[in-house]
Amino acid sequence: MAQYNEPMLREGALDGKVIWVTGGGSGLGKSMTKYFVELGATVVISGRREEVLAKAQEEISNKKIVPIACDVRNYNEVEQALQQIVETCGQLDGLVNNAAGNFISPTERLSSRAFDIIIDIVLKGSKNCTLACGKYWIENKRKARVLNIVTTYSWTGSAFVVPSATAKAGVLALTRSLAVEWAKYGINLNAIAPGPFPTKGAWDRLFPEELLKKVKLEDRIPLKRLGEHQE
Ligand code: HXC
Ligand code: NAP
């Protein structure tokens, strides 16, 4: 049996598939993209910063990566990106709602706009991409997969990251609801809830050095270790 830090899927498992990973230019989105390409997929990566996408494309594979700048908060941009994907790749088989925003703060110190920004990226962004892709799949009678990235605090809630916890709980409800509603179209929705995986995006914003000096993160995890990107 493969170890947690070894590839788990059979070679060629994603041959011929086209997968859209939002926020695929960095962190866990980039790691998933790399593995999907190794398994045979063509991967569309999106994010707001073109230079980040270009760098990831160069790093992983120039041929199997299609970078498309798109802010998931804006439904028109999402629809345009989808149209571009279908024109460029001819099809779309899967969507990974991975793009996210987060910061650590006492909630009473947040402006209303700051709270909205997180809800807009995480919940509205996942809704925008899922709705646009779902309409396309249903209209074109295509079977498809959606993978949503939530967190362990989607169930428990979490102090000091309240906008993220609120939005991620919403994404979990979206996943469960549409998994039932769209099963008849052959559209499968799943979610995964990673514990802490070191990425620059999460670490810069959630685990600043002063905090890590006081709290040993591994001690709070039953397995006593952080996640590794391959798993
Ligand atoms: C309080 C903050 C803040 C902070 C920004 N704001 N940072 N408030 N504490 N640390 C406020 C600003 O004052 C502003 O409000 C509003 O938020 C929007 O800030 P902008 O910088 O204008 O927005 P934008 O450029 O869109 O940036 C969005 C962002 C940024 C979310 C603030 O951090 C970002 O782009 N993040 C993307 C990557 C990311 O966060 N990755 C981490 C994912 S980890 P006002 O009212 O002043 O205008 C994760 C789960 C980890 O999701 C789970 C671990 C177990
Ligand atoms: P990350 O590297 O900061 O990735 C976030 C990505 O989202 C970036 O590529 C960013 O690109 C993109 N993004 C942000 N706002 C966007 C917007 N409005 N439109 C389009 N793209 C946008 O963070 P990560 O740690 O890899 O997290 C990836 C996912 O895993 C997130 O859903 C996160 O909640 C989840 N997660 C992470 C951990 C962890 O420990 N790392 C734990 C549990 C869950 P741009 O800035 O260029 O737009």
Check which CATH number belongs to the domain holding 100 and give it: 3.40.50.720
Residues of the chain with pLDDT under 70: none
Q: How far is CA 131 from CA 18, 49, 96, in A?
A: 18, 23, 13
Which domain range does residue 79 map to?
9-218
How many distinct structural domains can be found in the chain? Answer: 1
Indicate whether 228 belongs to any domain: no
Task: Please report the pLDDT score of residue 190 as a whole number.
Answer: 98
C-alpha atoms less than 13 angstroms from C-alpha of 125 in its C-beta half-sphere? 29
Q: Which residue puts its alpha carbon closest to atom 17 of ligand 1?
A: 114
pLDDT tens digits for 158-171?
Answer: 999 999 999 999 99
Indicate whether 210 belongs to any domain: yes
Residue with tokens 């398994």: 39
Task: Please report the pLDDT score of residue 167 as a whole number.
Answer: 99
Indicate whether 225 belongs to any domain: no
Furthest C-alpha separation in the chain: 54
Ligand 2 site, residue 201, Cβ cutoff 6 A: yes
Indicate whether 20 belongs to any domain: yes
Nearest to 31 by CA among 190, 201, 163, 146: 201
Indicate whether 223 belongs to any domain: no
Indicate whether 100 belongs to any domain: yes
Ligand 2 site, residue 121, Cβ cutoff 6 A: yes
Indicate whether 2 belongs to any domain: no
Task: Please report the pLDDT score of residue 2 as a whole number.
Answer: 82
pLDDT tens digits for 25-64?
Answer: 999 999 999 999 999 999 999 999 999 999 999 999 889 9
Task: Please report the pLDDT score of residue 168 as a whole number.
Answer: 98
Indicate whether 3 belongs to any domain: no
